[in-house]
Every structure is written in structure tokens, then in C-alpha cells.
Chain A
Amino acid sequence: MSYYFVIVGTKDNPIYEAEFTSTGRGGSEAIRRDEHKHLNQFIVHSALDIVEELQWKSNAMYLKSIDKFNEWLISAYVTAGNIKLMLLHETKNEEGIKTFFNECHELYIKMLLNPFYEVNSPITSSAFDTRVRFVAKKYL
């Protein structure tokens, strides 16, 4: 079970990327994931089209699972500032993902409060990273 989480800015630019695997697996798995990493990015990027289409049709920020590619599902969450939180996952887990997104949105808002952080710039804060990973562990 692995997840690929990315926050995409308004210019199709990733501002935060993370991969989560549920439990420690062998090295072969890691290699396979590395190969898949680029594909993941491409898949998420291509799903942005659908996010852009769907975001105007719903009041909810959480857009649920919006796209699939092979066995991968893509869930999306759009903030008011048009920042997209995208998660690539293999199994359906709507509630968990929803909570995960909400928590991450919260974290992102806290990030925005930082006067030294500009919108659309990459998030480099390690604290943010740790918290996101913690949230991921908790809900995914």
C-alpha cells in the first residue's frame, strides 16, 4: 500500500511532494517505487484537467476520487486559493482520505500564515513534512 501525495500550485507547479508506504518493505519495492515516481507525477499532472473541470461543479473542497489510471485512483481536494491537494492511492478509503486532506489543508493554511512564505512557492519546512507524514500515518 503506497500513496503519493502532492500539493499543486496554481501554475501546475508542485509545492510539496511526499510518498507514504504503510509498512517497511524490501528494497525491491523501493526500486519499483522509484521507477513509478515519474509515472506518478505524470498521472497526477494529467488528472489536473479533471480537477479543473470538477472544482466548479461542487461546493465541497474534497472532490473524492476523480480519476483512475490502471489500478491507481486519484483523489483531489481544492482549497479556496485554488491550491490542489492530490493523492494517488490504490484502495478506496473516502473517509480516511477526506480527513487526511482536511488535516493537510489545515497545515497548509498554517504555512500560509508564515509571513516569509509566498503563495505558490515550494514548501521546504521540515516541520510541515513531519506533520503531513504524521497525519498520513494516522488516517491513511
Chain B
Amino acid sequence: MDPILFTSPGRIRILLVPVHPIKASTFQKHIELVKNFNVVKLGDVTPDMRGSQSMFSPALFHEGQLLFNFVTTYDADHTYLEEFQLHRRIFGVIGIMDCQEWPELTDGYRKFTGILKNYPTALTHRCFAFDPSEHQPDDTKGLIMIPTVGNMGFYMSTMICDFASTILTEFGSLVETIESKTFIESPKVPSLFSSPLTSPNGPSHRYSTPTISFTDLTSPQTPSFPLTPPSQVLTASSIGNMTAGANAKDQYHTRSFSSSTLATLSNPSSMMPTSMSDLKLKRRTPGRVQKLLADLYLLAGRLPDAVSNYYSAIETTKSNSDYLWHGAALEGLCVSLVLLAYLHADIGPQVLQAPPSPSVSQSSSAPSSPTNPKPLWADITEKYLNVITLYAKTSNSINNQVPSLIYTEACLKMSKMLTCIWLAGEWGDEALKMIVHGVMPMDKTVREKWGLSQVSGVSRVEISQWAMKGYGIFVEEMSTTEQIHVNTTLASIFSSINFQRKYAFFLRRSVFLILPLLSRSRLPLAQAGKTSIIEDDRLLGNLRQFVDIYGVGDDDEDQKGEPSEEDAQNDFGWPDIQINVLKDAIMIAESIPDFHSIAKYTSRLLRRLFVHLPREEQHRLSVSLPRIVGLAKKQDIDMQIKYWGVNIVREVQVCRPSPKEIPYPHSGKILSQSDVKKEGSDGPFIYNPFSKKSAETVQTHLVANETAYFMVLLANVYAVDLEIQSISISTEGVSFVPDVISTTIPANNSVNVKLSGVPTEDGELIIRGCKIKIYGCIEQEFFVYLPPKEEEIRKREKEDEYAKRVKKSGLAILERHRRVDSSASTGTTSSQERQHMEFLRVTVIPNQPLLKIKSTSLMHRAIMLFEGEKTEMTIALANIGKTPVDFITLSFHDSTIANAQAILSSSDIPPEEAYEMEFYAHKQSVFAWNQSDQQVNLLPGGEWMLTINVFGKRECTSGTIQIDYGYLNQEQSPNNDTFYTRQVFYPVLLTVNRNLEPLAMDLSNFKPLPDVPNNDGVQSIEHMRQIEELLRVVDASGQTLEISRLESEYCLLTFDIRNVWHVPFDVTFIVDEGASGRIVTNSTTIQPLSTSRIVLPIKRIALSEDEVTKPIPSILDKQFVVSKAPKGTAEQERLQLALFCVLSKWHYDKQPTNGRKGIIDVRSLRLNKSMLNILKVNEIEFGIEFQQSALVQKMSANRFKWAQLTCHNSTLTPMTDKGAKLSLRTQPVQTYGDGVMDYDLSGRIVWNGLLQSTLPKIEANSSITYTLPVCFLSRGDFQFLYHCEDVETRSVYFDSQPLVVEVVDRLS
């Protein structure tokens, strides 16, 4: 029962003693039974045999109740208070006997009577014998058999009533004793420091023998079960009680109780009063007697009598300023009033009204009057204030000094009463019930109430003030048991009003007070090999509670197996205090000793507060953990501690394998060579926002049965080195064989560790984190999650932002965390949380082959070439893996592409230039692979030879050969599966030297020589002969050509070739005429640094209008960009297009000598407009002659000749199918040999007809002849100039050759 109960002055203390031997559990059971009857109505009590003249006859106040306080322990410390506060006495003793243990009941009873001697203040006694067997006779006098059958409750209540009746009767004789006394002393604290006056037969020397007998009886039992009723409210207080029983052996108990304090007090020798104080005492005694009488009335349940007696006692004590007793009487009065108020609910209002009336009449000075509408509790509060002041006044007096216990208890009682009212919410029956019975509800809703309770008007601050009043320096001077009582009561009060921090404060103090007692009492127990588990559990429970309130309470980490991250929410609380509290907790756990708790608190201290701990401390704590395990092992407790700190694994990354081992995924179809080549140029757009950056997204794949490497970042936030005995990757999914290594992380440092392992099958591998065994701890899995997604981070940031705003302060924050935690740990939310947190996933692909370039034909990976040279190189591949290779593809890169690309994209070059550039960059490849049709099958260990053509491309400096290979296993797997290839790169350094360069190109018309060579001719014969030779070459090909056709079909190409190298080159020109099948070849040798002119007859090219108007295509699929260059005229464009078309049709081969072959590129030569005119086949051809004679003619004057102009439409294209409608213009001129032309020919020539005439329509590939009869009238050289104009298109056609006529006087 709560030691500081408000109504304890109204309770009769009855001691329940076990009559040994009895089992603890049986005793406990019977106690519970007896305790059910702690309230006895006065009406039920058997009236006294001696009739109504007895002072305490229950008949006079039927509504009253007797309240019993059944105790199992008796605190002998307070014996000195027994005659001041009568309720502290033991009024009765009830023995509990187990008939099963006592075959002879009489013996048991004898033992009980022996026990009784220890309690001389007991007015009466009973001995209950439980569970009697049938053969045991119920003949022992004074022994009451409690049968197990029948209405046990009724039987018991009858017994208790009978017992109560006896007590009431005995009260009468007690009164007589009290009244007969002449002196009644104030109580003196029997200790040296609080009272200077210690009686010579001080309590410390008295009656040690009975004490020992008492302890002998109880001590073997007390520690093994709590002797207090199971208290729901206060675990701490029950411990306090328990300890009071447990420490019965302790020295201060030897000063113990007196067998009859009253007798002692009446012994004048013990008091030695001086005459002055003697007189004073004598004067004060009547008041004191009255107070004691009132106490007895209160105990007997005769409340009206008690009240009236208290009032008179107050009067008397006040008049002779006996402050102590005055205060005590006031206290008693308050109790009586409360009890009356409590009973009124049962008996009606008139009784309640009755008692205050005498108070008006008897004491006008009483702080409360019935007219005052104040509720009773306010009245009591005032009275108690008065009590406190009265007590405080006594502090200077010597004889009547208030014992600090009384003072403290008064404060605490008041505080408790207010707490009850606060808890109940109002002053009413509920509150009264709580006050009277001292049972506080553990309802959570009540506890969470805060602020001013509006109805009751009691504020928590008031409660706290009362409570703190009772706590002062003087408390520390009390005995340990008393201190424990005070502290636990305070703790319970603060706990009830939800002052968590104060609660924790006092709880901590109580635990500290209990601790030394506990360890002392444990010692013999530990030797006997017994441990009381319940006791430890309660203490540990307390530990948990106060540790929690200081913000270092249990968290999930203890339950969950995984060490968590440093959480940001961990900033709650006061680090200094937290460190202290945890150290206390460790100390307490050590004294128990509970190894699990020691380890728990030590690791928590390290985990939570390492920031605030100095290095030595961290070291000490971390070292102590393995020591604890060792100690636990000695005691046969198998204990394993988890790693205590924060997660040390910060990051796990899959290492990219070396470039030649990276598998590249390909989806679907077999990849062709072009597929690989196309990298970087997919899609027609310059910028494609949807295209993925291939470099970043290449995922790392692991290959089955090949060692995979992981980079693990380990961090140690502690000031001590962490020794990691083993660390390995922990995975889920496909089977994985990790390799285990060990390492050490230095203090406050991080370490990168490369871990390896082999996945043994293909599929998905989930990397959960690492399995780590730290020295002294068990192996644990440390998880590593992927960094949260974007929205997750944003959400968290938002929450953080929100958290910065202070919405709750103090412990409310803790509550919120706890709620979040609990919901997270219990419900589905946790799994959802988990889902957000994802592990790293890696795909493991099936076994892959591995190739190596074994050898190549190159030295030092370098090759030197002439420009245009073609050569071959070989690469030997070896399969060094365990899987065959059935797929190989090659792709090439060279240094020119990037350059060309850069130029193309940066500068705004004309399209024909761009075409040239692109052609150069992309169509001329440095490398080419002669892919054989043969199926690749390279078995493990086998070799394979590749032959690659190399071309000497201008300006190329380096290139790369990329070999993609894989094992497709096409027979078994369908083609559209994703497959993987690996790559081998072979870089080649190229040196390309210029050797021959073409220069100064020109084109000229080709005119066959007249059959009759003329020595006076303009052209040199020598030169003519060369051309003849050329033509012979043409002839040699087998076909004879008409001279006239030669003129129209061929033209001469001339250009220089310069040899810039220092060796001679043989150059062979092969003119491939394509469809007609004629090949013209020409060979020459060019000496170093010399230039030779090359003349080649080439076929003229007919360009149709269609071809000419097409835009210049781009070789690459490029986005069309509108030209930024200024647009030329339509004709210019046409010209450019035409030039381009011509160029694109040319192709020349050249071959250097010396066994090295190559080609010379003549594309660098550029055509101009006049060249184009020559090269192009005219649509309209002309022929002009006089009467089928030779071209250059001599004619006699003054004779008409018929000049025949033939227009031939040679176009074959359908465009001109409709025929050409032409207008022919002719102009004869006279030439004088010096280039001067005379256009005025009147009198020199006459003609019959029109010089300008429209010709009829000429069908395709047909001719029309226009005849103009001409007569020259004078001599001289004449020329006929002519041209045609298309009447529709206005395009003009010229002929290169005018008709030249030499007119002589007369032909010979």
C-alpha cells in the first residue's frame, strides 16, 4: 500500500505474517484473499459484548467504515512516531498458515504465538489456517480454519468483522492508557543529525533481539516475492517496499522498534524533562490527548466524533501554541472531512452538513466556514498551508521540532490529493474514491491531458509546487528507506500529472537510492545461485522508462537486426544528460548484473552520443563490449552482441570490368557490320532530344562464372579503429559465391575496399549490402540502398523544410517520433517504406567468350602508306575464354572522320564541296574487311586469322579496329533474343605520305587532223602524232571509229602529275568507258620531283536536263539545311549542278610501281565552265559544208554554191522527244588573218534566202538541213558563224567549229 496515502491516518494497520513453513505463492494467494476485506462497514461489525457504553461502539455511527491497511512488512523505523500518529501502529496481527505444511496445527499455532511476541503493540491477533485437510481436527483454540469449500468470501468477511469488533473493543482500553498519561512527548527523530536531544537509551541500542528474530523469519522469503500488493501505479514504490523488506538485515534496523513505546514514554527516566519544559508539557498534554483520541475515533470510523475531537484539540493546542500538535490535529481533521465527504455518497447529504456545524461553533478561527462556498478541497488546501506553516514554526523549538518525515509527508499528501482531483477532472466521487483508496487510474487519455483542468481548478503547477515543497535538503538526511519512499512518491505524482521530466528525475534518484541496498542484499543470494528475476525486471523497467524520457530510449535499432544510418532525428535531448543517464544505466545494469542491458546501453551510448564522447571514452566503451560478452560466457549466458555503431557501409558499386571484358547488349536481329558502324550517326537529325546518350546508359552486366568486382566504401565515424574480421558482399537472387576479406578502418576515416565474388548462374542479382563481422560482434548484414529517386528526395526536402518550423516542442516531439516509429514497425507502412528503398540490381548474363589479339602483321602497331596505297594486314585472334565464339564483326574508325565532320558541321561550305568532303570522309575507308562467308567457329583455345585491307587515305594519322564477338548459339536460341558481344580494340598508327599529285587540268576539243598534212599548219606535227598514237590506242581496242564521230564523242583531258616523292612511279591510266566496254589505258613513269603531262582522250558525257537539275545529294543521311550562302542566278546554279554531275562520274586509277599498288585520286581537280562545255555532249550538233566537199575549202568567186547547214538533234532523252523547234542564225564574216573580222560584206557576198530562219521541228536523233545558196563576189577568207536558238527555251546552241572558206579568183 502506498506509504504516503492521504487517508492513511484513517486506516488500521494490520500485519499479515506467514507462519512458516509456507510457500511464497500460497502466502501471496491468501494475502490477496484477505485484502479483499479491507473495508468493513461499521454496521456489519458485531456490537461489542460490553454494550453501548464502549467508546468505540460501531452502533453509534452506522454509516461509518473501518478501513484496514493490511501490510506484510513492518517498518520499524517509524516507531518513534507511533504515539504521535497512532495509525502507524500495528493494531493487529493475522497469521497465515498453510495446513498442508503443518500436520499438527497446534504446533503451528504455537509458532504463531511466538511470532506475536515481536509485535507488542498489536491489540489483537488471529491466525487463519488455510486449506485444511479433512482429517485435521478443528480443535486448536484461537486458530481459525478457513475451509476451501463453500462461500469462502462470506466466511472470511464474518471473520474480519469479528476481528474488527475485537479491535474496536481494544481501542477502549487504549484510550484509558492515553488518558491516564500525564505527559505526552512530541516525537523525536531517533538519529544524531536531526535531533540534538537523544535519549540515553537511544533507539539504536534498544531491542535488537526481537529484530533479529523478526528478520530471521521473513528474510528468506521477502526477496523472492514482492510483499507489497501488485501496484499498477508505481513499480518504483513497490521496489521501495520490497527493499524495505529485503534490507531487513541492515544495520539501521537494529535500532528498530520498541515493544511498547507507550510504556517507554511513560517511563520518566527516559525523558529527563527540565522543570520549565515539564510545566509546559503538562499544560500541553490535554490538547495532545484530545488529538490522539480524535485519531482513534478516526481509525474507528466514528467520523463525527473524530471531527469534533479534532476541533477541540485544535482549540487547545492553539491556545498554548503547541504548533506541532496543532498541525497534526489539522491534518487529522482534513482526513476526517475527506472521509466524510467520501461517505456522503452512500449515506445522504444531511450527515455531510452535520460535521462542519460544530466547527463553526467551536473554532471561529478555522480557515474554512460552512458559509464559504469554496469546495472542500480548496478548504483543505488552505488548511494544509496552515499545517505547513505551523510545522515550519516548530523548526526552532528543541522538544517539539517536527520530524522532517511528517513535514514531507504532509506536503506529499496534499500534492497527491490534488493529483487525484486533477486526474478525476473534478472534485467529486471519483476524486474522493481515488483519494481514499489511493488507486490512480492508468488511463492513457487522462495522462495526456495537459494544461489547466478547467473544472477542478487544480493546476499541475500547484501540484508540483506542493510536491517540491516536500523535497528539501532535509530529505537527504532521512534514512534511505524514507528517502526511497519520498522519491518514489514524488515520481508517482509527477508520472500521474504527466510531468515526464520530473518523473524521470525522481525515478532516477530512487533507483540510485535502491541500488546500493539491492546489490548488498543480492550478494548472499548470488552466492546461493539464486536471482530474483521479477525484481530485476522491475528495476530494468524503471531504467527503460527514465532513459526513454531523456531521449535515449529504445529504438527500432535494438530490435531490428540491421544497423541504421545516422538518423537526423536523433538530435533530441540534452547530450550531457543523456550521457550521464546512459552511464548510470550501465552502472545499474552492471550491479544487477544484466549483461544484455549492459551491452544494450553501452552500444546505445556509443551509437547515439559518440559525437560528444572523448576518444578515450569511446575506446573504453568499445573495448568493454567484448569484455561483457566474456563475462557473460563465464556465467553460461550465451550472448552475442551486434555491432553497436552506425552503418559503416556507405556505398556499393559494381566495378566496370576492363574494356575488353565489358559485354554489350544487342537486341533482336543479328547485328550487321553496318549496324555497328552506324554509331553516332543514327537518324537524320542534327540534334535528337530522344536519342539516348549511349555512353552513360551502358549498364554494367556481370557475367556468369566470371569474377565480379565491387567497390565498397566503408566509413568509421568513431575515434577508435574498427577491426573488420570479415567482409563480403551479401546478395539475393541468383547464386553468388562471395570472397571474404578482412580489413581495418582507421578512426574517423573511410576506406575503399574492393570485394569480389563469382555469380554462378545467369539472372538478376540483388546486392543487399555487405556481411560484416566486426571484432567482438556477431556477423551482421549491413544494407545499402540505392539513392532515392528524384521525387523522393524532393519529398524529403519538403519534410525537412517543414521540420524546421517548430510545431511541437519538448517531449511532444518524442511522442511524434514514437508514433511514426510504431506505425512504421507495426503496419504496412514499413513495407512501403522499404519499397522506396531499393537495392542495387545487376543483371548476370550467361557465360561469354573472351578473345585476345594474339599477333598482327604490323610492327609496333604502325603502318606507313602512300596516299592511295592499298595493302593488307592480318590479325590473329585467340580464344582464351571457355566459351566458343560464333559471331565476329568488325568496325573501323579513323582519324579523318572526326575532322571532316567538324569542318562539315562548322563551316558553311557549298554543297558540292560538302559532297566531296563527305565522300572523302565516309566513302573512302581506311580499313575494310574481306568478310568471308565461312561461319566463324572459334573454339576455346583456338585461333582465327583476320585479313584487313588498309587504304592510304590522305591526312589519316590513326585508326581503330573494333572487333565485336559473341556466342550466339544460333541453333538453340531464336534470333530475336538479346545477346551480348564483347569488344577488342586494335589501334593502328598510320603515316600517309603524299607521292603524286595531279595539277592543272584542262579539257580541249578533239578535232581529227585533215588527211592532208600541211607543213604550214599551226600545230606542230610532233604533237599531232602523239594524238594520233592515242587514237591508235583507241583503235587497238578493236573497234574502228569514224573520224567524224571521234570528234563529237571524245575530248582530250590533259593534266600534270607531279611526283613529290623521291622514287619514280609508274602511272597507268585506265579509262573505263563502262557500258560500251572500251578501256583506254595509258602508262608512263614519272621520275622523282618531275612533272609529266598526261593527255587522255575521254568520252564526252551527255548530261540530261534531269541530271543537271537534281540537287546535290548528301552521302550521309543528313538533315537538309537551307543554304546560308547567297543564292546565285538560276543559270549559275545550273552550271554548278552540271559541274558537279560531271565530276561525280569520273574515276581514274593510277598505280605506283615498286610492287606497291595504289590509286591516285583526281577528285581534287576542279572543272570550270568552259571545260564543262567541252566535256558535255551537245544536244544540237551542227554540220556545215558546201556541196559535200571538204571542211576547209577553196572556192572560186562569183559562183553560186549551196552552203548546207545540218542541224542534228542528238538528244536521246524523252524530254526532247517532242522535238526541238529551232531558229537558225547564220552570219558570214570576212577575216583578215589577224583576227579582225569584217561584218559588212555588202558587195562581197550575196545569198539567196534568209540568214535567220526558223527550222521545222527536229525529231529526236534526226537532222534537218538548211540550204543557203551563196555567191562570193570577192576574194579573201570568209567564215560562216552560226548558232541556233530554241524558240521555246531560248537556249542557244553553238558549234565550236565555224565554216572557213577561202575564196580565190578561180579554182584551178
Residues of A within 8 A of B (CB): 8, 10-14, 38, 41-43, 45-50, 52-54, 56-57, 66-71, 81-82, 118-120
- Among A11, A52, A81, max chain B CB count under 10 A is at A11
Given contacts A13-B571, A13-B573, contact A46 B502 (CB under 8 A): yes
Residue of A nearest to B452 (CB): A57
> Are B494 and A52 in touch, CB under 8 angstroms?
no
> Are B810 and A70 in touch, CB under 8 angstroms?
no
Q: How far is the CB of B466 from chain A (nearest CB, A)?
A: 12
A8: chain B residues within 8 A (beta carbon): 574
**B residues 456-477 touching A (CB-CB < 8 Å):** 459-461, 464, 468, 471-473
Q: How far is the CB of B458 from chain A (nearest CB, A)?
A: 12
CB-contact partner of A10 in B501, B508, B810, under 8 A: B810
CB-contact partner of B502 in A49, A71, A118, under 8 A: A49
B810: chain A residues within 8 A (beta carbon): 10-12, 48, 52
10 A-B interface contacts by CB (under 8 A):
A38-B576, A42-B577, A47-B502, A49-B502, A50-B460, A50-B464, A53-B451, A54-B461, A56-B451, A82-B809
CB-contact partner of B577 in A41, A50, A118, under 8 A: A41
Q: How far is the CB of A57 from chain B (nearest CB, A)?
A: 7
B811: chain A residues within 8 A (beta carbon): 12
> Are B468 and A69 in touch, CB under 8 angstroms?
yes
Q: How far is the CB of A21 from chain B (nearest CB, A)?
A: 19
CB-contact partner of A41 in B471, B574, B806, under 8 A: B574
- Among A49, A68, A81, A120, max chain B CB count under 10 A is at A49
Residues of B within 8 A of A (CB): 450-452, 459-461, 464, 468, 471-473, 494, 499-502, 504-505, 508, 550-551, 571-577, 580, 804, 806, 808-811, 813
CB-contact partner of A67 in B459, B468, B472, under 8 A: B468
Sorted nearest first, the 10 A-B pairs with minimum C-beta distance are A10-B809, A46-B505, A49-B499, A46-B502, A82-B809, A11-B572, A49-B501, A46-B501, A10-B806, A49-B502
A66: chain B residues within 8 A (beta carbon): 461
Q: How far is the CA of A118 from the CA of B803 in the complex (A)?
A: 12
Q: How far is the CA of A47 from the CA of B501 in the complex (A)?
A: 8
Residue of B nearest to A70 (CB): B473
> Are B494 and A11 in touch, CB under 8 angstroms?
no
Given contacts A12-B811, A48-B501, contact A53 B468 (CB under 8 A): no
> Are A68 and B574 in touch, CB under 8 angstroms?
no
Residue of A nearest to B569 (CB): A11
Q: How far is the CB of B1157 from chain A (nearest CB, A)?
A: 77
Q: How far is the CA of A120 from the CA of B803 in the complex (A)?
A: 11
Residue of A nearest to B813 (CB): A11
Q: How far is the CA of A8 from the CA of B575 in the complex (A)?
A: 12
> Are B459 and A53 in touch, CB under 8 angstroms?
yes
> Are B468 and A12 in touch, CB under 8 angstroms?
no
Q: How far is the CA of A48 from the CA of B500 in the complex (A)?
A: 10
Q: How far is the CA of A19 from the CA of B172 in the complex (A)?
A: 63
Q: How far is the CA of A82 from the CA of B812 in the complex (A)?
A: 13
B580: chain A residues within 8 A (beta carbon): 38, 41-42
> Are A11 and B468 in touch, CB under 8 angstroms?
no
Is the contact region of chain B dominated by helix, strand, or loop, or is it mixed?
Answer: helix
A120: chain B residues within 8 A (beta carbon): 571, 806
Residue of A nearest to B502 (CB): A46
> Are B499 and A13 in touch, CB under 8 angstroms?
no
A119: chain B residues within 8 A (beta carbon): 804, 806
B806: chain A residues within 8 A (beta carbon): 10, 81-82, 119-120
> Are A12 and B461 in touch, CB under 8 angstroms?
no
Q: How far is the CB of A75 from chain B (nearest CB, A)?
A: 14
Q: How far is the CB of B798 from chain A (nearest CB, A)?
A: 17
Q: How far is the CA of A71 from the CA of B472 in the complex (A)?
A: 7
Q: How far is the CA of A11 from the CA of B505 in the complex (A)?
A: 18
> Are A67 and B464 in touch, CB under 8 angstroms?
yes
Q: How far is the CB of B323 from chain A (nearest CB, A)?
A: 23
Residue of B nearest to A67 (CB): B468
Q: How far is the CA of A99 from the CA of B209 in the complex (A)?
A: 64
CB-contact partner of A12 in B471, B473, B508, B573, under 8 A: B573
Q: How far is the CA of A114 from the CA of B904 in the complex (A)?
A: 57
Given contacts A10-B806, A10-B810, A81-B806, contact A45 B574 (CB under 8 A): yes
Q: How far is the CA of A54 from the CA of B504 in the complex (A)?
A: 19
Q: How far is the CA of A36 from the CA of B450 in the complex (A)?
A: 31
> Are A70 and B472 in touch, CB under 8 angstroms?
yes
> Are A13 and B574 in touch, CB under 8 angstroms?
yes
- Among A8, A43, A48, A120, max chain B CB count under 10 A is at A48
Q: How far is the CB of A89 from chain B (nearest CB, A)?
A: 16
Given contacts A49-B464, A70-B472, contact A13 B572 (CB under 8 A): yes
Q: How far is the CA of A119 from the CA of B809 in the complex (A)?
A: 13
- Among A43, A52, A118, max chain B CB count under 10 A is at A52
- Among A12, A82, A119, max chain B CB count under 10 A is at A12
Q: How far is the CA of A67 from the CA of B471 in the complex (A)?
A: 12
A69: chain B residues within 8 A (beta carbon): 468, 471
B459: chain A residues within 8 A (beta carbon): 53, 57
Q: How far is the CA of A38 from the CA of B502 in the complex (A)?
A: 15
Q: How far is the CA of A43 from the CA of B574 in the complex (A)?
A: 12
B572: chain A residues within 8 A (beta carbon): 11-13
A10: chain B residues within 8 A (beta carbon): 806, 808-810, 813
- Among B452, B473, B576, max chain A CB count under 10 A is at B576
Q: How far is the CB of A78 from chain B (nearest CB, A)?
A: 10
Q: How far is the CB of B501 from chain A (nearest CB, A)?
A: 5
B508: chain A residues within 8 A (beta carbon): 42
Residue of A nearest to B550 (CB): A45
Q: How far is the CB of A76 from chain B (nearest CB, A)?
A: 12
> Are B809 and A41 in touch, CB under 8 angstroms?
no
B499: chain A residues within 8 A (beta carbon): 49-50, 53
Residue of B nearest to A82 (CB): B809
Q: How far is the CA of A24 from the CA of B672 in the complex (A)?
A: 92
Q: How far is the CB of B477 from chain A (nearest CB, A)?
A: 12
Q: How far is the CA of A73 from the CA of B575 in the complex (A)?
A: 23
B550: chain A residues within 8 A (beta carbon): 45
> Are B468 and A68 in touch, CB under 8 angstroms?
yes
Q: A49-B501, A53-B464 are in contact. List 4 more A-B contacts (CB 8 A).
A: A10-B806, A10-B809, A12-B572, A46-B504
B460: chain A residues within 8 A (beta carbon): 50, 53
Q: How far is the CB of B1233 from chain A (nearest CB, A)?
A: 101
B451: chain A residues within 8 A (beta carbon): 53, 56-57
Residue of A nearest to B451 (CB): A56
Q: How far is the CB of B1127 from chain A (nearest CB, A)?
A: 61
A82: chain B residues within 8 A (beta carbon): 806, 809
Q: How far is the CB of B465 from chain A (nearest CB, A)?
A: 8
Q: How far is the CB of A41 from chain B (nearest CB, A)?
A: 5
Q: How far is the CB of A61 from chain B (nearest CB, A)?
A: 15
Q: How far is the CB of A77 from chain B (nearest CB, A)?
A: 15
A38: chain B residues within 8 A (beta carbon): 576-577, 580
A43: chain B residues within 8 A (beta carbon): 505
Q: How far is the CB of A132 from chain B (nearest CB, A)?
A: 19
B450: chain A residues within 8 A (beta carbon): 53
A49: chain B residues within 8 A (beta carbon): 464, 494, 499-502
Q: How far is the CA of A66 from the CA of B577 in the complex (A)?
A: 21
B551: chain A residues within 8 A (beta carbon): 11-12
Q: How far is the CA of A119 from the CA of B450 in the complex (A)?
A: 26
A12: chain B residues within 8 A (beta carbon): 501, 551, 572-574, 810-811
Q: How far is the CB of B492 from chain A (nearest CB, A)?
A: 15
> Are A41 and B576 in touch, CB under 8 angstroms?
yes
Q: How far is the CA of A10 from the CA of B811 in the complex (A)?
A: 9
Q: How far is the CA of A42 from the CA of B573 in the complex (A)?
A: 12
Residue of A nearest to B805 (CB): A119
A42: chain B residues within 8 A (beta carbon): 505, 508, 577, 580
A56: chain B residues within 8 A (beta carbon): 451
Q: How far is the CA of A38 from the CA of B508 in the complex (A)?
A: 13
Residue of B nearest to A9 (CB): B809
Q: How far is the CB of B402 from chain A (nearest CB, A)?
A: 18
A71: chain B residues within 8 A (beta carbon): 473
A41: chain B residues within 8 A (beta carbon): 574, 576-577, 580
